[in-house]
A and B are shown apart, each in its own frame.
Chain A
């Protein structure tokens, strides 16, 4: 792992230990470096961006600030809830990025000073950057659900919308539920992270109930007027494989919860269940909010889609679910991966004074599992439109599967292995 030159390593080490004598490094970096890129957030967007800056411009110093020790994948995590995958299959280390010479710092960025180009860390230190990439993911709008707006309550009704301990905790609740019980899932109004995710989760829980607790039922409380993604394909599974097990209620926006009463309160109705999974509405995560990066509806970060540079703060790029999505662009791991490579190319061009590619292309591929091994996809291709200053779907491209299949289940795992390697090797 000691691929750092000694001087360079000490420089980074100083950054990690709160020694702040780094002002002189804020520009060219010295030691033949073409400058320093810092990435906040090691998810699908940030880890991939760090990798590709280093891959395509080895002379740029790259640091990745991530608060968790491991990368835990949201895609495939619904299979863990269904008992069709294990946590160790979706949990990875950052060692592959370290081997590349990327400084992976386990810390939390708590403030960004875009004037000084300096990040303040929770551990008390600072890191200076020439260009900053922020891929913070989402945080939840708990204030919309008053009784769920305490830490205590959040340890009873899980979201499991960030894979990790919450995934394990919700799986345990499902395992502990009696046969004949009711699992209720509350889906927020779009846009939210992973549009087909809630409906895939319903399939996975149904697959588990069918095998282990066949008298049990699933109640889908959707704030949206209809299924947001892959509607026909999900309904085919619900009316076929899981016939009689699933009740779908559209226009069911949550008003509050009653933790003790195991109840979701809707506007005109109270719904009791044995296991309650509330996925709250979301916005760009706290660091984006604190750094003036949010530009739309107090929720999302507007970017220039040719480089992912923030529309609000120069020198700072934003990726992934935290961005104000372009038309028909989902908040997905695939999309964050694509943002990351557009951003990496843009950051390198800007740092080296080269022309930025204005003909940005992005592609999305999202698989959803309807059972242990059968999956289906939604795909789209997007191209930058200079007249509209946004990236838009290419007419005639994209679409969904004809039907879920085992062949696509195999491709879904292939997608997962490759996108994980993209981010982490």
Chain B
């Protein structure tokens, strides 16, 4: 999947920027990382996918990621599996996850080493 091309400003105008993190959010600074880590299983450690299938999330724009998750939820963006996952997280959690991946330098993961 290519990175976003939609201008940032357009997303803002559409009111798609995340709401501020709610007051009930746990103070644990590793909370966002732990949430994002649930995505690593399929999308690679820190969102760096081994061969880009499923797509790397590392370094993607935060607002773009959040918009995609919302479109998966509503079905606007068709998916095989992502709508079922997106419905499992709150808006606040999705914002933290998107923020985490936006802060990672993009790249590919090294594949697991073969047996010698």
Give the B-binding residues of A (Cβ under 8 A): 52, 55-56, 69-71, 88, 91-93, 95-96, 334, 337-338, 341-342, 345, 349, 354-363, 365, 377, 379-383, 394, 396-399, 401, 405, 407-408, 410-411, 413-415, 417-425
The stretch that binds A, out of B2-10, B11-19, B58-66, B104-112, is: B104-112
Residue pair A355, B27 in contact (C-beta under 8 Å): yes
Give the A-binding residues of B (Cβ under 8 A): 26-28, 30-31, 33-35, 37-45, 49-51, 53-54, 80-81, 84-85, 87-89, 93, 109-116
Residue pair B112, A423 in contact (C-beta under 8 Å): yes
**In the complex where A398-B88, A414-B49, A417-B50 touch, is A357 in contact with B28 (Cβ < 8 A)?**
yes
| Chain A positions within 8 Å of B113 at CB level | 92-93, 95-96, 424-425
Q: How far is the CB of A271 from chain B (nearest CB, A)?
A: 37
Within the complex, which residue of B81, B112, B114 is in contact with A421, where a contact is CB–CB below 8 Å? B112
Residue pair B112, A341 in contact (C-beta under 8 Å): no
Residue pair B84, A398 in contact (C-beta under 8 Å): yes
Residue pair A407, B80 in contact (C-beta under 8 Å): yes
**In the complex where A363-B38, A414-B51, A421-B44 touch, is A92 in contact with B112 (Cβ < 8 A)?**
yes
| Chain B positions within 8 Å of A423 at CB level | 112
How long is the Cα–Cα vector from A421 to B50 in the complex, in angstroms?
Answer: 7
Residue pair B114, A418 in contact (C-beta under 8 Å): no
How long is the Cα–Cα vector from A52 to B81 in the complex, in angstroms?
Answer: 26
Residue pair B85, A381 in contact (C-beta under 8 Å): yes
Residue pair B87, A425 in contact (C-beta under 8 Å): no
| Chain A positions within 8 Å of B80 at CB level | 377, 401, 405, 407-408, 411
Residue from B53, B84, B85 whose CB has the most chain A CB atoms within 10 Å: B84
Residue pair A420, B31 in contact (C-beta under 8 Å): no
Residue pair B84, A422 in contact (C-beta under 8 Å): no
Residue pair A363, B31 in contact (C-beta under 8 Å): no
How long is the Cα–Cα vector from A405 to B37 in the complex, in angstroms?
Answer: 27
| Chain A positions within 8 Å of B53 at CB level | 410-411, 413-414, 417
Q: How far is the CB of B114 from chain A (nearest CB, A)?
A: 6
B41 and chain A: residue at smallest CB distance: A337
How long is the Cα–Cα vector from A23 to B38 in the complex, in angstroms?
Answer: 37
How long is the Cα–Cα vector from A413 to B39 in the complex, in angstroms?
Answer: 16
| Chain A positions within 8 Å of B49 at CB level | 414, 418
How long is the Cα–Cα vector from A337 to B109 in the complex, in angstroms?
Answer: 17
Residue pair B30, A381 in contact (C-beta under 8 Å): no
Residue pair A421, B110 in contact (C-beta under 8 Å): yes
Residue pair A415, B41 in contact (C-beta under 8 Å): yes
Q: How far is the CB of B88 from chain A (nearest CB, A)?
A: 2
Residue pair A365, B28 in contact (C-beta under 8 Å): no
Residue pair A93, B88 in contact (C-beta under 8 Å): no
Residue from A91, A355, A363, A411 whose CB has the most chain B CB atoms within 10 Å: A363
Q: How far is the CB of B104 from chain A (nearest CB, A)?
A: 13
Residue pair B115, A357 in contact (C-beta under 8 Å): no
Residue pair A425, B28 in contact (C-beta under 8 Å): no
Residue pair B114, A92 in contact (C-beta under 8 Å): yes
**In the complex where A91-B114, A379-B81, A421-B112 touch, is A357 in contact with B30 (Cβ < 8 A)?**
yes
Residue pair A365, B81 in contact (C-beta under 8 Å): yes
